[in-house]
Amino acid sequence: MGTVVLTMKASVIEMFLVLLVTGIHSNKEMTKKIKRLKFNVPQINCDVKAGKIINPEFIVKCPAGCQDPKYHVYGTDVYASYSSVCGAAVHSGVLDNSGGKILVRKVAGQSGYKGSYSNGVQSLSLPRWRESFIVSESKPQKGVTYPSALTYSSSKSPAAKAGETTKAYERPSVPGTTAQPVTLMQVLAVTTAEATHTTLPKPSPSTASTTSSPRPQPMGHRSREMDLWSTPTYTSSQNRPGANPGVQRQDSSGAAFQKPVEADVSLDCKVDLSFLIDGSSSIGKRRFRIQKQFLADIAQALDIGPAGPLMGVVQYGDNPATHFNLRTHTNSRDLKTAIEKITQRGGLANAGRAISFVTKNFFSKANGNRGGSPNVAVVLVDGWPTDKVEEASRLARESGINIFFITIEGAVENEKQYVPEPNFVNKAVCRTNGFYSFHVQSWFGLHKTLQPLVKRVCDTERLACSKTCLNSADVGFVIDGSSSVGTGNFRTVLQFVANLSKEFEISDTDTRVGAVQYTYEQRLEFGFDKYSSKADVLNAIKRVGYWSGGTSTGAAINYALEQLFKKSKPNKRKLMILITDGRSYDDVRIPALAAHLKGVITYAVGVAWAAQEELEVIATHPARDHSFFVDDFDNLYQYVSRIIRNICTEFNSQPRN
């Protein structure tokens, strides 16, 4: 009996031990599962920017392929929060292009970010930004709880929650539009009054509250709105952050603000005008409001209308967008109402991209471009652009667009290292003589540019970039009609002349075309003042009859100088295009020299039996750019684009001063 009891007790104890061990094992499994759930790592895409994520520290998993240059990165080691998180991880060497897990920690904004090439990624430079981050390997630190789901910023909240970083580039909430339009002076007065009541830093431009109680935010990119809130006007050599708060605002000259003087606009001011306004995050809401009021005052001063100036507005940030084109509003009242409704886009200050956009899209017939009116683009920039403007501006000028720049609060000495393109204004404007550029020390001085700007954009005689290589010449064709050419080849030559003529903008005020045919003798086929449309010129070329005879090229040049170019307009470029198929019976050196001395730019085109050394004597220096030889008439067409390109290259290489 005792043995049975002992056996039963042993069985119970064994069963208890089994249950205990099983329970412990289950608890361990449960703990492991809990840990796995606790450290579930969220995955993000390559294009996610750190500024979109509110969490101050987090672990994420990046996909493969984030080395692609379309995922922009700003900085080296410490990155602006406008950067791609995963792109920065590849640049820093924490990840390769196959992706993986990383630890991201937000840090304070920097005074500047230097670009560099590292690990297959070219990072970019950037002026100061409100927030930064650093990337390291995904080793969790003890005592730190990492989120298993990220919190993204929302554009719906009008202000940032305390202690959280808001999304860098959400469109700001649109304040209610008042029934009565405000003036630029009222905007300045309101801001001046605010300056005497607060010394707080500016709110983040994308999340600022519409109330009068600003909340401190991280430092902003090119963030200078603080001086509108709490400090006096600064010159470019002063350090704005260290100035005394609470000082009554004045303009840079120390004078009290006065209402802008109405510009004296003549009734014949007929221009097609595009304003490129800065909508970047750096400008802030109040500066943006001052900028809008400046546009409204411009619209009022210009007296917008079909018989006078027309005006459209493009806003740029990361990318440009047209708010309204030249045909949208045809009076100042409607235009001012539309300007009031413009909301800030935010983003970088990519003025170069905006200029390219305007060149390709804005000044089209569909958008209201009138053709006969000068095209003018006025670019407003807070500080400096975040991209380069030189190449985009060159193409704009070559398209006949007169570029003006207004820069407000440019870079101080210690900021110049962050400007992507030094001396960007002179690289952009139509001419570097000061006529096309304004620099304003403070946004409070912007209204002072109103009158001189309006006068300049309406001074059509000085809008030099309206003149292009294709609309500002008198082009005289000197055509060999000798017997060696033959009837069929002569028609081919005429087609070549027509193809060249088609490339020009022909009218009585733009490019004009004339033609001379020669053998031993010379004949004026039509002069510069005969036809004022492209269609009429092309029809006249078709009607030219083949003459036949000898080849006196020297005499033909003299004849063209007397009968064609002597009647050229003083403000026109004089272009002579001579086509011949043989050696001249007379001397060409003295007539060619006479043409050069009279400012006639000569292009010599030789076919078949033409003497190349003679072509080089006739042609303007350098001969390699002005003389051409083809072995067969049927190949003449191949040189149309090359001749036009050389004409335009020469025109665009003229000094811009």
Q: Using the predicted structure, report yes or no on whether residue 115 has a pLDDT greater than 90.
A: no
By percentage, how much of the chain surpasses pLDDT 70?
Answer: 76
pLDDT the model gives residue 166: 34
In sequence order, what are the beta bridge partners of 80? 132
pLDDT the model gives residue 415: 84
Looking up tokens 């499994």 gives 29
pLDDT the model gives residue 463: 86
pLDDT digits (tens, 9 = 90+) for 345-354: 999 999 999 9
pLDDT the model gives residue 153: 77
Report CA torsion sign: 152, 153, 156, 161: positive
Neighbours of 598 (CB within 10 A): 12
Of 186 and 128, the one with more pLDDT: 128
- Give mean pLDDT, residues 215-230: 36
Dist. CA 213–CA 202, nearest whole Å: 10
CB contact at 8 A, 150 and 58: yes
pLDDT digits (tens, 9 = 90+) for 292-322: 999 999 999 998 999 899 999 999 999 999 9
Dist. CA 302–CA 296, nearest whole Å: 10
pLDDT the model gives residue 27: 53
pLDDT the model gives residue 395: 87
Q: Using the predicted structure, report yes or no on whether residue 360 has a pLDDT greater than 50.
A: yes
Residue 273: burial class (beta carbons within 10 Å; 0-12, 13-18, 19+): buried
Neighbours of 307 (CB within 10 A): 11
CA dihedral 207, 213, 217, 220 (to 10 degrees): 70
Looking up tokens 């917008």 gives 304
Which structure tokens are listed for 320? 């440009």
CA dihedral 203, 205, 211, 217 (to 10 degrees): -20
Q: Using the predicted structure, report yes or no on whether residue 450 has a pLDDT greater than 90.
A: yes
Cα 340-345-349 angle, rounded to 5 deg: 115
In sequence order, what are the beta bridge partners of 322? 314
What is the overall mean pLDDT for the chain? 80
Which structure tokens are listed for 117? 């090439």
Report CA torsion sign: 208, 111, 101, 162: negative
- Give mean pLDDT, residues 15-38: 50
CB contact at 8 A, 576 and 602: yes
Domains of the chain: 50-137 (2.170.130.20), 272-462 (3.40.50.410), 473-653 (3.40.50.410)
CB contact at 8 A, 420 and 386: yes
Cα 42-168-103 angle, rounded to 5 deg: 30
Dist. CA 383–CA 415, nearest whole Å: 10
Q: How far is CA 20 from CA 11, 23, 24, 31, in A?
A: 14, 5, 6, 16
Q: How confident is the model at residue 520 (pLDDT cuts 50, 70, 90)?
A: very high
* Ranges 35-39, 136-140, 652-656: which has the least confidence: 35-39
Is the whole-model pTM more than 0.75?
A: no
pLDDT digits (tens, 9 = 90+) for 155-196: 433 333 333 333 333 333 333 333 344 444 444 444 443 333
- Give mean pLDDT, residues 35-46: 76
pLDDT the model gives residue 139: 83
Looking up tokens 């029809």 gives 539
Which structure tokens are listed for 231? 């400090």
- Give mean pLDDT, residues 201-220: 33
pLDDT the model gives residue 465: 83
Neighbours of 252 (CB within 10 A): 16
- Give mean pLDDT, residues 558-572: 93
pLDDT the model gives residue 29: 54
pLDDT the model gives residue 38: 52
By percentage, how much of the chain surpasses pLDDT 90?
Answer: 60
Cα 33-39-40 angle, rounded to 5 deg: 90
Of 501 and 7, the one with more pLDDT: 501
Dist. CA 22–CA 28, nearest whole Å: 10
* Ranges 78-87, 364-373, 524-533, 635-644: which has the least confidence: 364-373
- Give mean pLDDT, residues 33-62: 83
Of 244 and 26, the one with more pLDDT: 26
Say how many Å lie between the first and final Cα of the chain, rounded.
122
Of 239 and 544, the one with more pLDDT: 544
Of 314 and 214, the one with more pLDDT: 314
In sequence order, what are the beta bridge partners of 623? none
pLDDT digits (tens, 9 = 90+) for 584-613: 999 999 999 999 999 999 999 999 999 999
Which structure tokens are listed for 376? 């003018």
pLDDT digits (tens, 9 = 90+) for 391-428: 999 889 888 899 999 999 988 888 888 899 999 999 99
- Give mean pLDDT, residues 615-631: 96
pLDDT the model gives residue 477: 98
Looking up tokens 């309206």 gives 466
Q: Where are the alpha helices (H) located in 127-248, listed in sequence order? A: 184-195, 226-230
- Give mean pLDDT, residues 72-85: 92
